[in-house]
Amino acid sequence: MFSALLFDFDGVILDTETPLYEAWSRLYREYGHVLSMQQWAANVGGYAYDVFDPYAELEKRIGRSLDRNALKLLRRQWYLQRLSLQRPASGLTEILRVARERSIVLGVASSSDREWVHGHLRRLGLAEYFDAVACGDEVARVKPDPAVYQLCLDRLGVAPEEAVAVEDSPRGIAAARSANVYCIAVPNPVTGSMDLGGAQWKLSSLADYAPEAFLDEVAARHADSF
């Protein structure tokens, strides 16, 4: 029985990924280079540029070392300026509200660290909706490993077969499925062209349905999967 809804954070609750790509793209342009979306997207769903290192790539292209600390400060300034304008994903707050009314427990399972996730949830006024949050700095391995989902499920006190995950990337989907959690894919502009075929249902936006209809459809599809 569907009783828990788990959300990835970056790219699902808040589109942090598009502003980050834009900031890195701007930095590359400063040096006369282009950072492709395809190359950048390899990192989505992971942690700390563990797949593609944009600093090393830029140094390789220009043929010399750079002051990475200075670049980080500049890139982060651009990023945070853009991020401050971002609002929660369209349709999300309404879904959270109706889910609470229906006694569906809510969790966040993110590869990002606790300071980042909790800070933004408080800033956006969303922290009160979630019964449990599990983050990348609380587990030994981040997505696509299922550890962060397993931790979130443990904190919620629900079994994997009772939960549904909302993800935006192949690595996140793989983590949810490895944890035996039914998974919905809702891509953002960075992940929209990626292969999200591992998910059991794909939406273009959380606002595709009215919140009541969304939760009804989730429950029906989840039941049909068993």
The catalytically annotated residue of 8, 15, 145, 168 is: 8
Q: How many CB atoms lie within 10 A of CB 140?
A: 6
Q: Which pTM value belongs to this model?
A: 0.90
8 included as an active-site residue:
yes
pLDDT at residue 48, as a whole number: 61
The mean pLDDT of 150-174, rounded to a whole number, is 97
Query: What is the C-alpha separation between 95 and 92, in angstroms, rounded?
Result: 5
**Segment 72-114, tens digit of pLDDT:** 999 999 999 999 989 999 999 999 999 999 999 999 999 999 9
Is the previous residue joined to 19 through a cis bond, with omega within 30 degrees of 0?
no
The catalytically annotated residue of 10, 15, 145, 168 is: 10
pLDDT at residue 69, as a whole number: 95
- Cα distances (Å, whole numbers) of residue 209 to 8, 82, 94, 127, 217: 19, 28, 11, 23, 9
CATH code for the domain defined by 4-15+88-224: 3.40.50.1000
| Annotated domain spans of the chain | 4-15+88-224, 17-83
pLDDT at residue 45, as a whole number: 65
